[in-house]
Amino acid sequence: IKATMGTLMLSLKLILLLAVLAIGHFAAATPTGELPSTNSTAPPTARLDNSTTMVSPPSSRHRDGNSTEWSDDRPPRKPAVRFRPWDGCMINGATRRCVDVEQSRKNWQTADAQMWSCNHNPIAQRITLSPMNPQHSNAVVTLAVARAAPSDRSYCLDVPGGHAYEGQIVRWWECNDSAAQLWHRNLDSDGKRTLLSPYNGRHLCLDPEAGWEGDRNGQRLRLWRCLPDNSVHQFWVEDWNSGHCGA
């Protein structure tokens, strides 16, 4: 009996020892709440910087970058002032006198073109401008004195012999559709002020002889190098019954 009890006690001790070893092994295999220091550094990841906003590059068609208005890169073009046939008087921007026919000659052929106080005289100051191409503001036109009767001949502003040069006096001549009677009419944006240049001399402009100093009734009209910013070379075109052509 004693031998049996000794064997039993030895078995129990062995079982207890195995249990203790098993518990210790399990505890060693269970991780604690802290990660090993060798694994605490993660590989760097991309960091988003919220202070930087991605902006598309400005389009070549966007104006100023801040506007919602879209346009071509080219500056806006002004629409051409379409030019219709016109009937009225022509007033010089400097002298405020009207383009007129010198009437002391009995024959209008070769009569000088001159300046005269606007007096609403249809025989001498009522002028018809007829465009060659109505679609363009820089129209090529003829300037004809209004006829007193339909059967009367028309007389056009004419460069003698078609030879345009500085100082050339212009005249009225029976209309004949020649280049000597064609004029470039260069309008401003409002379609009122104009420079008149002979067809064969774009660098020359219709000019009251001697400019300001020659201001008088009977002042002849001639050709002179263009001075676009000088009111002496600017002519206002006014409708005949507008009240600007004299009483």
pLDDT tens digit sequence for 76-125: 444 444 556 678 999 999 999 999 998 876 567 778 999 999 999 998 99
- Give the pLDDT of residue 130: 87
Looking at residue 1, what is its pLDDT? 60
CB 102 within 8 A of CB 217: no
**CATH second-level architecture of 86-239?**
Trefoil (2.80)
In this predicted structure, what is the pLDDT of residue 86? Answer: 78
Q: What is the pLDDT of residue 68?
A: 34
Cα distance between the two ends of the chain: 161
Distance CA 146, CA 88 (A): 9
The tens place of each residue's pLDDT in the chain, 247 residues long, gives: 655 666 667 777 777 767 666 665 555 544 444 434 433 344 444 443 443 333 443 433 333 333 333 333 444 444 444 556 678 999 999 999 999 998 876 567 778 999 999 999 998 999 998 887 655 556 788 899 876 666 678 899 999 999 999 999 999 999 998 999 999 988 766 666 789 999 999 999 999 999 888 999 999 999 999 987 889 999 998 999 999 999 7
pTM: 0.63
The predicted structure's pLDDT at residue 247: 76
The reported pLDDT for the residue numbered 62 is 34
